[in-house]
Amino acid sequence: MRTLVTLRPPGADEVVLVAEDGYWSEPDAGPIDEAYETHGLWALPGLADAHAHLSADEMTLTPGDPDEIRRRAFACVQAGVFLALDKGWGDDAVLRLFDEPPDRRPDLEAAGRMIATPGGYYPGFAEEVDEEQLADAVARAASRRGGWVKIVGDWPRRGEGPRVNFSFEALEAAVRIAHAAGARVAIHTMAREAPSMAVAAGVDSIEHGLFLTEDDLAALAGRGGMWVPTLLRMEAVRDELREGSSGRRLLGEGLANVAALLPVAERLGVTVLAGSDLAVPARRVAAEAARLAEVGLSPVAAVAAVSHAAFAATGRDVGFRPGFPADAVFFDRDPTEDVGILGRPALVLRRGRRVPAD
């Protein structure tokens, strides 16, 4: 099937391409089976969720159900979310998605089961290891086909507040082992000390990062590291805590720090990415991009955070050029002028074929 498509990316000129065999090609004199009416629409090569949990739509400690995971994955495709970085669960069920065809799921990278210390996460959910066992656990996780290792870097203890789970030396060794196996490392960081330690250790993606510093951001920018603030999730956790509690105060301070740092991160060239993290289902990650724009990112950077910045950070060639995947998500307005429109696509094409809304 050959489809003629007119595309207008934000900030660029209109281009006409043919979708054939799942890839873009130059128009020619050959027959066209279908032409979509896309004049007046704005196009992106897809949305991305950089902190997805496809095993659930909200926080739960139940095992991943393969049928439900497949359903959520296709719901992402219907919403134009063509890349999901699944940042771990209590099992490896999400890794089965790699066996699904690309028209039924987003492009996928996944951490599988998370790694924590005993008492350093929800009991029994993550793989619980002592510090001296971390290297072996990371080696096992990195050997799986997901491409990521997820470490829980800190967790609150009763009467103590959040406390780091692993030392700098252990984290540094973990990163080295994962990289040697071709995997990236993501780390949950909400305590004051954790994000700076993780950045110094070479962790690839800082999840939440409430207490990053400007020096940390400069270091991340210098080596192409990622920051996924998950604002909606952090705000939801804050709001669940009792008014006046030490935990709520800590999260409030951390969120204020994030708001102050987002413009700095943009200026320094940090790869800031949008992640749903169960605050909303992965298919609705556009809501996180809108929140990033409200809190401190420019609209252009917020759109990048939920689209091409994530594709670039993971080494994917996407866009509207011959030889690239024929993926496109169309909107009624320029998303760099109205970030909220990202949650309401007018047309979704995956590998050159229209994706039905229902």
Answer yes or no: do 71 and 86 share one domain. Answer: yes
How many Cβ atoms from other residues are within 10 Å of residue 78's Cβ?
Answer: 15
pLDDT of residue 37: 84
Sequence-ordered list of residues with C-beta below 8 angstroms from that of 36, at least 6 positions apart, any chain: 3, 4, 5, 6, 347, 349, 354
What sign has the CA pseudo-torsion 94, 61, 81, 87?
negative
Question: Cα angle at 147 between 155 and 72, to 5 degrees?
Answer: 80
Domain with residue 183: its CATH number is 3.20.20.140
Residues 82 and 39 in one domain: no
pLDDT on residue 34 = 87
Same domain, 263 and 140: yes
**Residue 81 confidence (pLDDT):** 98
Question: Strand, coil or helix: what is 77?
Answer: helix
Contact 109, 146 (CB under 8 A): yes
Count of CB atoms situated within 10 Å of the CB of 254: 24
The pLDDT, as a whole number, for residue 32 is 87
What's the CA gap between 307 and 310, in Å, rounded? 6
132 plus 64 within the same structural domain: yes
Report residue 83 as tokens.
């890349």
| Tally of structural domains, the chain | 2
Taking the C-alpha atoms of residue 185 and residue 346, their distance in angstroms, rounded to an integer, is 35
Distance CA 14, CA 312 (A): 22
DSSP SS3 for 141: helix
* DSSP conformational letter for 133: G
**Pick from 76, 61, 70, 125: nearest CA to 94:** 70
Q: Residue 166's pLDDT is what?
A: 98
Per-residue confidence in pLDDT tens, the chain, 358 aa: 899 999 999 999 999 999 999 999 999 878 888 888 898 999 999 999 999 999 999 999 999 999 999 999 999 999 999 999 999 999 999 999 999 999 999 999 999 999 999 999 999 999 999 999 999 999 999 999 999 999 999 999 888 889 999 999 999 999 999 999 999 999 999 999 999 999 999 999 999 999 999 999 999 999 999 999 999 999 999 999 999 999 999 999 999 999 999 999 999 999 999 999 999 999 999 999 999 999 999 999 999 999 999 999 999 999 999 999 999 999 999 999 999 999 999 999 999 999 998 7
pTM for the model: 0.97
Q: Are residue 157 and residue 246 in the same domain, yes or no?
A: yes
Q: Alpha-carbon distance 30 to 91, whole Å?
A: 49
CATH for 323: 2.30.40.10
- Tell me the CA end-to-end span of the chain in Å, nearest whole number: 22
Is the distance from CB of 299 to CB of 306 less than 8 angstroms?
A: no
Q: Are 7 and 54 found together in one domain?
A: no
Instruction: Tell me which residue range forms the domain holding 15.
Output: 2-43+319-354
Tokens 């690239």 sit at which residue? 324
Amino acid (one-letter) located at 110: A
CA 40 to chain centre: 29
Q: Which helix (H) or strand (E) holds 224?
A: none
145 shares a domain with 23: no
Partnered with residue 24 across adjacent β-strands are 19
283 & 334 share domain: no
Pairing status of strand 271-272 against strand 15-20: unpaired
The pLDDT score that the predictor gives to residue 205 is 98
- Tell me: do 13 and 65 sit in the same domain: no
Q: Indicate whether 204 and 232 sit together in one domain.
A: yes
Question: Are 230 and 331 part of one and the same domain?
Answer: no
Same domain, 131 and 6: no
Tokens representing residue 35 in the block: 């032409």
CB 334 within 8 A of CB 13: no
Instruction: Give the chain's largest Cα–Cα span.
Output: 73
